[in-house]
Amino acid sequence: MSKTDTLQSLIQTIDGRQVHLDQLDRFYAGNPPLSFLSPEAREALGNRFGRMASNFCRLTVTSISERLRITGFTRDGQPDPALWQDWTRNDLDQLAGTLHREALTLGTAYCIVWADAFGQPSISVESAHQMTALRDPGTRSIVAAAKRWNTATGSEAVLYGPDTITRFKSDSQNATAGSQYRITETIDNPLGVVPVVEFRNSDRLLDEGVSELRDVIPLQDALNKLLSDMLVGSEYFARPRRWATGIELEEDEDGDAENPFPESTRMLIAEGDTAKFGQLPASDLGSYDTAIRSITSQIMAVSSLPAHYTGVVANQPPNADGLRAAEASLTARVEQRQHTFGRSWEKVAGLAHAIRTNTDPLAAEITVTWADPATRSVAQEADAVVKLFQAGLLPATAALERLGYSEDQIQRIRDARRAEALDGAGTDLEALLS
């Protein structure tokens, strides 16, 4: 297959999933289609509620992504400060969270690893809206990848292969056919592997990446419907309705009866002797609250959201142990995502190390260090670590890692303690000489 044919196949894959990805984006943004809303309900609400959603979809994603925090890398069993410098230089301490949210929301995200103008590793975070990868069915390794984006005058694309990287350009926006593109540049790839890493949110081998919103979306639709129905019910039945009999009604130009008492009228007056007034009681909307709580409990079940994340709170605030127990399912899900995404980050770090040292990307054994995803009591954790350190079971560096400090923070702490020790030694020396 030629480069043009490969590019066309990959671009068609990108375009083929845009409708699905756009739907996921809308639910994540809290702007899902109100297709379940009846015409009567739309008329009742008018333009007062153009957007109605209690957005559990975004909460499902952020509850996981906010706990996916990388604190360092080890190479061949030892901390590697150079890899952490690559990490911070490419702003991945901020962009890694963005990539995690993209992968959790859309099912897939990508990283491109290449060299900048100074020969240092350059790592960019990419969306599934613009990029895809082709895998070998036998080895499941990436054999090609493509990125396509629009410009003011057309569209551009890059085809990443194990031997070359080819840039294409087209005068048409959203160009799909390979014949619409022309090659503008070809670069040799000395790495010998495709410099693209896929972050696939999946627990199964053959899945193409599954959004965390897949199980939540039907329940989110049901919740939005209940909220809309409750608003319609509150508009018509939540207030007491007044009635009157024995009053002669006037007609408008079309012959339709007019209400003699506008809604804003506070006092009802009638001249007829037979006129009577009364009031119908307001409707109880408690059934909606019961249904909403039922749907919310189902969302909690499929998304591992604890009750205090969804607004279902108890009278007594939970303690640290209670929070850890309530968040056990969420913590387990985050740990699972750490294993899934950790393998991809190890590949990214391997490519960065290979670019910086001009070595084989597969030679180094790199491991990602994650922060503890569980909710911790700082006082209890510190007390336990101090006891382990005093008993000689943990060195100072391991104790600081246990407390959640990053490699940079640990290094600064060690440097500060070393400086304090030197200052103290210098003071004693001056005292001896005086």
Local structure of residue 281 (DSSP, 8 states): P
Beta bridge partners of 367: 74
Residue 160 identity:
Y
Given this model, what pLDDT does residue 107 score? 96
Query: What is the largest distance, in Å, between two alpha-carbon atoms of the chain?
Result: 116
The H or E element spanning position 204 is none
- Are 53 and 224 in contact by the 8 Å Cβ rule? The answer is yes
For each of the chain's 434 residues, which pLDDT tens digit applies?
789 999 999 999 999 999 999 999 999 999 887 766 666 666 666 656 556 678 999 999 999 999 999 999 999 888 899 999 999 999 999 999 999 999 999 999 999 999 999 999 999 999 999 999 999 999 999 999 999 999 999 999 999 999 999 999 999 998 999 899 999 999 999 999 999 999 999 988 888 899 999 999 999 999 988 888 887 777 777 677 777 777 777 777 777 777 776 666 666 666 667 788 777 777 778 888 899 999 999 999 999 999 888 887 665 666 777 788 888 999 999 999 999 999 999 999 999 999 999 999 988 899 999 988 987 767 777 888 888 888 887 888 888 887 878 777 888 888 888 888 877 765 554 554 55
Local structure of residue 3 (DSSP, 8 states): H
Residue with tokens 């297959």: 1
- Are 110 and 145 in contact by the 8 Å Cβ rule? The answer is yes
- State the Cα–Cα distance between residues 383 and 54, nearest whole angstrom: 40
- For 114, phi then psi, to 5°, come to -150, -175
Intra-chain end-to-end CA distance of the chain, in Å: 84
**Which of helix, strand or coil describes residue 425?**
helix
- State the Cα–Cα distance between residues 2 and 40, nearest whole angstrom: 56
Given this model, what pLDDT does residue 368 score? 95
